[in-house]
Structure 1
Amino acid sequence: MAITTEFVLSSPALPLVSITERLQPNEIECVHALCLQSDVRMFIVQIDPDDDVAEAELAALDEIDETTVLGETSEKAVYKLVVDVDESISAAFDPERFDGAPIKPTTITPEGWHERKVFTDFEAFTEFRTSCENHGISFDLLSMTPDPSQSENLSQDELTDRQREALTIAVSRGYYEDPRQVTAEELAEELGISQPSLSSLLRRGERQLISSSLGSQVQLNTITR
């Protein structure tokens, strides 16, 4: 089942963060093909004209090899940049390892990359997250949404919103992996609840998911035994 994710990546090696660190704009928008093909070096960047970023200033940045002004839209100045991409970034985004694609331009700030991507399934997302972390890229998941076409089936699990939130965060943080990538204490702190409350919330959510998956037969067997 496809999932849509929103997250922030942080690493000194991420391309074009230097524009927001050294020049005027607090953020820029960028379209790239990382995750879609190997050895990507071309980035289409949109910058607010009010930020007064000159072509020469972009070309002077160490990581940028070529700068071409493509023109202006009603709101943005558009540049084509050929960038010297760090090997760790190319390896982390290697499209041979997972199926995922951006669904909105990347927003780049001094803190890193804010991205929205769709993945073919949760396993593909997990592989991408692991790949980033293995190559020194901090990964902060903001949201995860299932394919809307599956919403009717998903609603049948009868999870509460809080149970779904807790289970989603637990899975995304690696709580159910072996070995666990996060502790119950850390999850509880992230959700703003006590550890016993977290354990109860996960346990009730897990039971509901199991009951929904197995159907009424499990309930009948429980009653008759």
Structure 2
Amino acid sequence: MGLVAEFDIECPALPLAGVASAVPEATIGLDLQYNHGDRPPFVVTVTDGSRRALEPALTDADDVATWTLIGDAGSTRRYRARPAYSFADQLGDAIDDLEGLTDLATEDAIIERIEVLPGGWRQTGWFLDRTAFDAFASFWQDNAGFRLRRLTCDGDPEPAGDGLTDEQREALRIAYERGYFEIPRRTSLDALADELDIAASSVSERLRRAQTQLVQETVAPTWPPAPN
């Protein structure tokens, strides 16, 4: 039986991790078009985050040669970016086993989703069996950082909102209980921040990321792709 895994790869040298560090409030999704040679173009989907902050970050990124805004729908924008380096050139100083990285492409696995984080990537993938998953996990454990977030059999149902961090779940719960989502609101970000003992900007970021995750897990799979 196949497996579905969600995991974090902690490697700041991965493409666009620097952009995510520059605009931490944005949720950045990445699709790689592997059939375009050794520098596959990126399709970058950005939710939230200031366009005024994000686009200069793309321009300044060492690993982005050029980028183009393809289209936007509400708070979501899609870009096509051409990398400045091949994977081997970009990761050569960070990963010792480049041959092993190439071998990962031949494993019985399909990476379904990549979210770019300030310290690396969060990926969701399908794996033929435990052997295929262990080969993938072992490579990143040996060459960078690897943190498993979820591992299920491919036929197992997943509860709505699966994939939230404990901090995001706590922020959502308290915001809901205090009436933050009611109209009109019965509490403020500052009040939530006092209760959670973090900055108001951090509360806002946690809530946005949690809401984005819930949409991705429950509503977004039923939508057609956003128009270009």
Normalising by the smaller structure, the TM-score range is 0.5 to 0.7
Partner of 2:8: 8
Structure 2 gap segments, 5+ residues each = 158-228
Q: Is 2:84 the partner of 1:51? A: no
SS at match of 2:13: coil
Please point out which of 100, 105, 114 is paired with 2:109.
100
Aligned residues of 2:104 and 2:136 also touching (Cα < 8 A): no
Aligned residues of 2:28 and 2:46 also touching (Cα < 8 A): yes
Partner of 1:138: 145
Task: Please say which structure displays the higher CA radius of gyration.
Answer: 1
- 1:109-157 Cα deviation digits (max 9, x unpaired): 21321111001111111111122233x22111111111218x9xxxxxx
Q: 1:99: how far off?
A: 1.5
> Aligned pair in 2 of structure 1 residues 40, 144: CA closer, same or farther (>3 Å)?
farther
Structure 1 gap segments, 5+ residues each = 152-225
SS at match of 1:129: helix
- 1:184-225 Cα deviation digits (max 9, x unpaired): xxxxxxxxxxxxxxxxxxxxxxxxxxxxxxxxxxxxxxxxxx
2:67 partner amino acid:
T
Please point out which of 129, 132, 155 is paired with 1:124.
132
2:128 partner amino acid:
T
SS at match of 2:61: coil
> Aligned pair in 2 of structure 1 residues 130, 15: CA closer, same or farther (>3 Å)?
same
How many residues are treated as equivalent by the alignment? 147
| Distance across 1 between alignment mates of 2:105 and 2:64 | 26
CA RMSD of aligned residues (A): 2.8
| Distance across 1 between alignment mates of 2:102 and 2:24 | 28
> Aligned pair in 2 of structure 1 residues 82, 19: CA closer, same or farther (>3 Å)?
same
